Structure 1
Amino acid sequence: MSTLPSRLSVVTLGARDTGALRSFYRSLGWTELPSSDDGWSAFLLGGVLLALYPLPDLAAEAAPGVPDPAGGWSGVTLATIVDSREQVDTAFAEAVAAGAVVVAEPTDRPWGGRSGYFADPEGNRWEIAWAGTARFDERGALLAFG
């Protein structure tokens, strides 16, 4: 039996401009932890912490000796699953109004759901999705999918 729990607790984005990212996520209406500043910032999302950490500091810890990545897409997407098909479009529009860059407009997907993609000010990709099989607890933490 493993001592490593099967859970995701924190997603950390290495930020090139922590202040701009903090401002963007606050513009989405997300509540920032009181201890946040430009040296480390975090938002509690459902049951997962979204942390923003200056890229050079994160690289020193997580990738010592590896050259800093170029700007643009990292090959990783983050997703927020909403409660209804219609909410995909309204949540997507709110993200764009807060300064997100449209990557792919919301559309019905072959797997039966609906989703669209946007990029935050540093190119991190977010998917806003609805999946009829997703189930959440009272905090918004994902309990089941599929």
Structure 2
Amino acid sequence: MTGIPVRLSIVTLGARDMGVLRPFYRALGWPELPSGDNTWTGFLLGGVLLALFPLDDLTAEAAPGSANPTGWSGVTLACAVDTRDAVDRAFTAAVTAGATPIAAATDRPWGGRSAFVADPEGNRWEITWGPEATFDERGALLSWG
């Protein structure tokens, strides 16, 4: 891989109240990942994962050092890569292409690795690897955990 794969894998919503947001998405009939709880959860929707992550925790990762960052909406887009090391390579490729580095690649407490960049308009992108992620031949996300 020489750059970032052409795929949108995960949309993460910064949840102000996981106890309200999780049941709402379940009430829509969307199947929650078995590993979901109030520390994070996800719903696999046609090859894209809708992730819910507490807003304070997401802010700490995607907008570190700022309690109320300018332009931070509490939403991240993510590109899942195939290997732990690919996170670092894709992060470098994104910065080389003009992205602003937000948070360098870090091993996360949940077992994966991720980094954050901002596009030229400040939209946050997470480059992430999950140890249990699988993809189809097109690169669409089949499972996350």
TM-score, normalised by the number of residues in structure 2: 0.53
Partner residue in 2 for 1:116: 115
Q: Distance in 2 between matches of 1:112 and 1:29?
A: 21
Between 1 and 2, higher relative CO (CA 8 Å, sep ≥ 6) is seen in: 2
Q: Which runs of 5+ in 1 are unaligned?
A: 1-27, 32-43, 49-70
- Residue 83 of structure 1 corresponds to which residue in structure 2? 82
RMSD of aligned residue pairs (Cα, Å): 2.3
Give the drift of 1:104. 0.5
Shift of 1:45: 4.9
1:105 corresponds to which residue?
104
Q: 1:105 to 1:30 in 2, by over 3 A?
A: closer
Quickly say closer, same or farther: Cα 1:45–1:125, change in 2 above 3 A. Answer: closer
Structure 2 residue 127 is matched with structure 1 residue 128:
yes
Structure 2 residue runs of 5 or longer lacking an equivalent are 10-46, 49-69
**Computing the radius of gyration over CA atoms, which structure comes out larger, 1 or 2?**
1
CA positional deviation for 1:94: 0.2
For 1:88 and 1:82, the matched residues in 2 are separated by 7
Cα 1:85/1:30, change in 2 over 3 Å: closer
- TM-score, scaled to structure 1: 0.53
User: In the TM superposition, what are the counterparts of 1:1-146 in structure 2 within 5 Å?
Assistant: 45=8, 72-146=71-145
Assess, with a 3 A threshold, how the Cα gap between structure 1 residues 106 and 138 changes in structure 2: closer, same or farther.
same
Inter-partner Cα distance in structure 2 for 1:30 and 1:73: 25
- Residue 115 to residue 98, structure 1, CA distance change in 2 (3 Å): same
Shift of 1:29: 7.4
The one-letter amino acid paired with 2:85 is E
How far does the alpha carbon of each residue in 1:79-137 deviate from its partner, in whole angstroms, 9 at most, with x for none?
A: 01100000000000000000000111101111111100000001100000111110111
Q: Deviations over 1:25-76 (max 9, x none)?
A: xxx6788xxxxxxxxxxxx75767xxxxxxxxxxxxxxxxxxxxxx622210
Q: Is the 8 A contact 2:4 2:94 kept in 1?
A: no
Give the match's secondary structure for 1:72.
coil
Retained in 1: the 8 A contact 2:117–2:126? yes
Runs of 4+ more than 6 Å apart: 28-31
Match of 1:9?
Answer: none
